[in-house]
Amino acid sequence: MEFCNIILQEEGRIATLYINRPKALNALNEDTLLDIKAAVEYFGGSDELDVLIITGAGEKSFVAGADISFMQDMNAIEARRFGMLGQEVFRLIETVEKPVIAAINGFCLGGGCELAMACDIRICSERAKFGQPEVGLGVTPGFGGTQRLPRIVAPGIAKLLLYTGDIIDAHEAFRIGLVDKVVSSEELMDYVRRLAMKIASRGQVAVRFCKVAVNNGLQTDIDRAMVIEAELFGLCFATEDQKEGMKAFIEKRTADFKGK
């Protein structure tokens, strides 16, 4: 596939999506969001790909935010439309049935932080910087930041970051639970690829059911969430992966999963 503002690479069962506007610190405009949407749809529909890594081209930035030069002259209707496009694309990332890992290298601000929060797992380098600085521009976050941030970190911490627009470093982001691991800049991509390969080596039906169970369960009460889990657990026993996985365990060998 050909894109204007991203690069999509495939290696084995792993796809890597690079936001590729380094001169603009990988800021998100409409074309970039549409590129991301098309790439995620392709990934989701591919039988050859199991895990998606999203990262930023260059060493300075994951995504420094939505493109201010693109937004500054918008009226209220145009801004709402742009916000809803970003929400649609990030919700697609959140709900695609396969795992998505954010590899965060540098600035992860505004729309970039919102993009990272839509991913299943967030791994960052020690140089990463995080924040929702939109109030300093006279606007609110528009791509889901006011909703995902308080679901990931404590609501009070989320409000502190949202109301002040403060930018935090990688270790503070880890402390509050915004990211899942901090590694060196040199190690980042190798670490994330190893993680993606480990996930891809597991039973993919089960991995995808785990994502559905977690995402859907978090949005309902615990009793309904347990029903969701039980239903998905039961469905696993209608798969070839379950038969192979348990047989391999009994036979003390590595399972050869087919994703069926």
Active site residue 88: no
Active site residue 30: no
> One of 48, 59, 78, 114 is an active-site residue; which one?
114
Residue pair 115/63 in contact by the 8 Å Cβ criterion = yes
Instruction: Name the token pair of 8.
Output: 């999509």
> One of 48, 88, 94, 134 is an active-site residue; which one?
134
User: Would you name the residues annotated as active-site residues?
Assistant: 114, 134
